[in-house]
């Protein structure tokens, strides 16, 4: 018997999400997965260490109660408006399962549509495919700005789509969007609209208030990037209690591991430390942008902890290899909209300086 035959045909046909590389090369400068270059605050590490004892045999709190209560307080909402996930990725997947019908004859096309801008977070199409839903990618403007309503209509945008994901600020472009523009878009959308604010702490404004105004809008946040906690896998959604209840019904009972809950809760007690880190990262982003522009790179404005740059001289893919040969890892995407660019995570100031030196060498400007 061939076990392969026992796998659903839909699963056979899937292309899994490709995460950024996590190589274990000594001395590598890792600017490819938008991790924070600064460690968690000391009290966060201490809280995690203190929790590593005989309690590991027990299940964690099933609803991450203390963390939800603290986040609710922070955002001025009720705890019934917050759900915690094993990273925000888990919650994006739950949203597809809770709000989108798999493509089924007799069901309107909009009910099975997962809609998103192109380019944006490359997980969304994978989630649609896993669920047997249909994808509706719609191009952003050439400068990665939001299209006008007229442009949206012309490019097949569906205002009735069951689920729309908006990465804001956008990834991989780094471009931030004005809350007023997101508000106008949300006001027209009839289906669930998830504003994926994974990088919002590095931006000038956030759109959390839109969850109060629009009952169909959910905000996705994560502790991974701004709060230096990728390893612990903690993210959350804020929105209308009815939507949160629906998501709560379909999640695993103990979806957020205990040490993750401890770490995230301790993080919320150290916000000034993290805010100082945002400021450092933003300062490095400005410095690096200026330096690379001086070397002839086209540098796109960024409201995130990474930036998209179009290198001069060799093709972007060649730059990827040249930088790697100098032990600097950045990200290159093969999709045509962004294949001329490199996405560079903002590291420490020292890492940025090393990157600029390497770029000079590659351009033989040293």
Q: Which positions touch ligand PMP (CB under 6 A)?
A: 87-89, 121, 167, 171, 196, 198, 222, 224, 230, 235
**Smallest distance, Å, CB 270 to ligand PMP?**
19
**Residue nearest to ligand PMP as judged by C-beta position:** 87
Task: Measure the CA–CA gap between 205 and 111, rounded to whole angstroms.
Answer: 31
Instruction: Give the residue from 213, 299, 223 showing the smallest Cα distance to 261.
Output: 223
**Smallest distance, Å, CB 335 to ligand PMP?**
15
Between the alpha carbon of residue 300 and those of residues 4, 60, 234, 254, 308, the distances in Å are 45, 43, 29, 41, 6
Could you tell me if 134 and 215 are in contact, meaning their C-beta atoms sit under 8 angstroms apart? no
Between strands 82-85 and 235-238, the pairing is: antiparallel
Q: In terms of CB distance, is 134 or 222 closer to ligand PMP?
A: 222
Q: In terms of CB distance, is 243 or 359 closer to ligand PMP?
A: 243
Task: Measure the CA–CA gap between 169 and 176, rounded to whole angstroms.
Answer: 4
| HSE value, Cβ hemisphere, 13 Å, CA-based, for 44 | 23
Q: Can you spell out the DSSP letters for 189-210?
A: --SEEEEE-TTGGGSS---TTH
**Smallest distance, Å, CB 251 to ligand PMP?**
14
Q: In terms of CB distance, is 182 or 359 closer to ligand PMP?
A: 182
**Smallest distance, Å, CB 82 to ligand PMP?**
15
Q: In terms of CB distance, is 91 or 316 closer to ligand PMP?
A: 91
Q: In terms of CB distance, is 134 or 167 closer to ligand PMP?
A: 167
**Smallest distance, Å, CB 167 to ligand PMP?**
5
């Amino acid at each position: 018997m061939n076990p392969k035959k026992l796998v659903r045909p839909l699963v056979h046909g899937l292309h899994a999400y490709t995460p950024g590389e996590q190589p274990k090369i000594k001395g590598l400068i890792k600017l490819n997965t938008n991790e924070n270059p600064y460690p968690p605050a000391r009290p966060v590490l201490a809280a995690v260490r203190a929790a590593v004892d005989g309690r590991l045999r027990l299940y964690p709190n099933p609803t991450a109660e203390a963390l939800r209560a603290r986040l609710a307080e922070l955002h001025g909402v009720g705890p019934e408006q917050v759900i915690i996930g094993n990273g925000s990725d888990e919650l994006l997947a739950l949203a597809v399962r809770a709000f989108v019908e798999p493509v089924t004859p007799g069901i309107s096309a909009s009910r099975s549509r997962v809609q998103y801008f192109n380019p944006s977070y490359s997980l969304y199409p994978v989630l649609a495919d896993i669920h047997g839903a249909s994808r509706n990618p719609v191009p952003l403007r050439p400068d990665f700005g939001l299209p006008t309503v007229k442009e949206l209509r012309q490019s097949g945008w569906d205002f009735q789509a069951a689920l729309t994901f908006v990465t804001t600020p956008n990834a991989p472009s780094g471009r931030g969007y004005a809350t007023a523009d997101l508000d106008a878009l949300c006001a027209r959308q009839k289906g669930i609209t998830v504003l994926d604010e994974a990088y919002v702490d590095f931006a000038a404004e956030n759109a959390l208030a839109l969850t109060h105004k629009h009952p169909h809008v959910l905000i996705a946040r994560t502790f991974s990037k701004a709060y230096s906690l990728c390893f612990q896998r903690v993210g959350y959604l804020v929105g209308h209690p009815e939507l949160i209840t629906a998501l709560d019904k379909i999640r695993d009972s103990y979806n957020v591991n205990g040490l993750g809950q401890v770490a995230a809760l301790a993080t919320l007690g150290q916000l000034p430390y993290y805010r100082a880190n945002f400021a450092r990262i933003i300062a490095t982003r400005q410095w690096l942008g200026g330096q690379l522009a001086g070397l002839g790179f086209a540098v796109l404005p960024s409201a995130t902890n990474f930036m998209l740059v179009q290198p001069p001289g060799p093709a972007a893919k060649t730059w990827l290899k040249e930088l790697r040969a100098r032990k600097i890892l950045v990200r290159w995407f093969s999709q045509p909209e962004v294949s001329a660019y490199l996405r560079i995570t903002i590291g420490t100031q020292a890492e940025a300086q090393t990157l600029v030196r390497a770029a000079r060498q590659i351009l033989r400007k040293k």
